[in-house]
Structure 1
Amino acid sequence: MRTPRRTIVREPRELLGLVGEELGASKARVVTQEEVDQFADVTKDHQWIHVDVERAKKGPFGGTIVHGFLTLALVPRLLEDVLTVENFSMGINYGLDRVRFVKPLPPGTEIQGVAKLTSAERIPAENGLEGVQAKASVVVEFADDATTCCVAEILFRYYP
């Protein structure tokens, strides 16, 4: 397991100087079967490989697996563990670029997020707000051996 590490910046514009840097590693987190079942209810994706524990034992993964989009939904939370921007009035998820689900995630398995800042640029004033748009490559890893589960390039914006 990686030692959790966080990057702290006082203002969004400080991100401009961190491009290319690893921001850190999140705390370990476990996705439970209960969370998988709740996600299935919300998204109406009740495919047996996610929710039917008994049937999934005989399936290709030897048990249930977490929905890829649930894993992806954890990326902003894992990034929050890794990067703290102290002074801003509003932050938004702006989108995603490349996303890959590299290896299935069984419920009950510890994961960590490792993030690298791949770009940062000033956003021209919109409605009187000038901000910073940044992109991080977040690798969701199995905490026990650092094997990649999911990779996502997430774009986010901060406004002062």
Structure 2
Amino acid sequence: MTTTTAYADALNLAGTDLGATEWLEITQDRVNVFAAAVDDHQWIHVDPERAANGPFGGAIAHGFLSLSLATHFWTELFELQGVTTKVNYGLDKVRFITPVKVGARVRMTAIIAEVTEVPGGYQFVVDQVIEVEGGSKPALVARGIYRFYA
């Protein structure tokens, strides 16, 4: 469910738990397209037959593929009305905790940790966790930084 807030109310959002996104399946096709985009064709990602006998028991998504989904998930969780530009400003901390096997489903939970004014807009610091369905540990944890300009 998307939390929608007016631009004027942005500074009041620190501490807001945005909940969880819908689940998204990590397919071999998605992994292959990502591998082609970043020129990382390591067999643990793109060779399911070889990966079946590898350290993870099957092909896994690139860690950075899982991380890149934070942008998709963030837009599913949050919308600030009245902005003209939205920017991924960076990351303060990222940890890849558990590999994501091809065929697994992932989702993100997020909590807005901080909101500050920046010239022309607001900066949001967001604690994000990408979970693997049925897993005991998350795929990754990250502190994302986003800027919204009016």
TM-score, scaled to structure 2: 0.94
> What displacement does 1:147 show?
3.4
Of 109, 123, 129, the match for 1:133: 123
> What displacement does 1:132 show?
0.3
Of 33, 38, 42, the match for 1:47: 42
State percent identity of aligned pairs. Answer: 37
> What displacement does 1:76 show?
1.1
| Alpha-carbon separation, structure 2, partners of 1:48 and 1:16 | 46
| Alpha-carbon separation, structure 2, partners of 1:67 and 1:14 | 37
2:10 equivalent to 1:30: no
2:105 equivalent to 1:110: yes
Q: Secondary structure at the match of 2:44?
A: helix
- Whether the 8 Å contact between 2:14 and 2:115 is mirrored in structure 1 is yes
Q: Secondary structure at the match of 1:74?
A: helix
Q: Secondary structure at the match of 2:72?
A: helix
* Amino acid in the other structure paired with 1:46: H
> What displacement does 1:143 show?
2.8
Divergent runs of 4+, >4 A: none
* Amino acid in the other structure paired with 2:78: L
Correspondence for 1:154: 144
| Alpha-carbon separation, structure 2, partners of 1:107 and 1:56 | 10
* Amino acid in the other structure paired with 2:122: V
Q: Secondary structure at the match of 1:156?
A: strand
* Amino acid in the other structure paired with 1:120: V
| Alpha-carbon separation, structure 2, partners of 1:80 and 1:141 | 17
2:10 equivalent to 1:8: no
Of 130, 134, 138, the match for 1:144: 134
* Amino acid in the other structure paired with 2:85: M
| Alpha-carbon separation, structure 1, partners of 2:55 and 2:20 | 31
| Larger displacement relative to structure 2 (143-152 or 65-74) | 143-152
> What displacement does 1:145 show?
4.8
- Whether the 8 Å contact between 2:97 and 2:137 is mirrored in structure 1 is no
Alignment gaps of 5+ in structure 1: 125-129
| Alpha-carbon separation, structure 1, partners of 2:55 and 2:44 | 9
Q: Report the number of matched residues.
A: 150
* Amino acid in the other structure paired with 2:2: R
- Whether the 8 Å contact between 1:24 and 1:83 is mirrored in structure 2 is no
1:135–1:38 Cα change, 3 Å: same
TM-score, scaled to structure 1: 0.89
* Amino acid in the other structure paired with 2:130: V
Q: Secondary structure at the match of 2:102?
A: coil
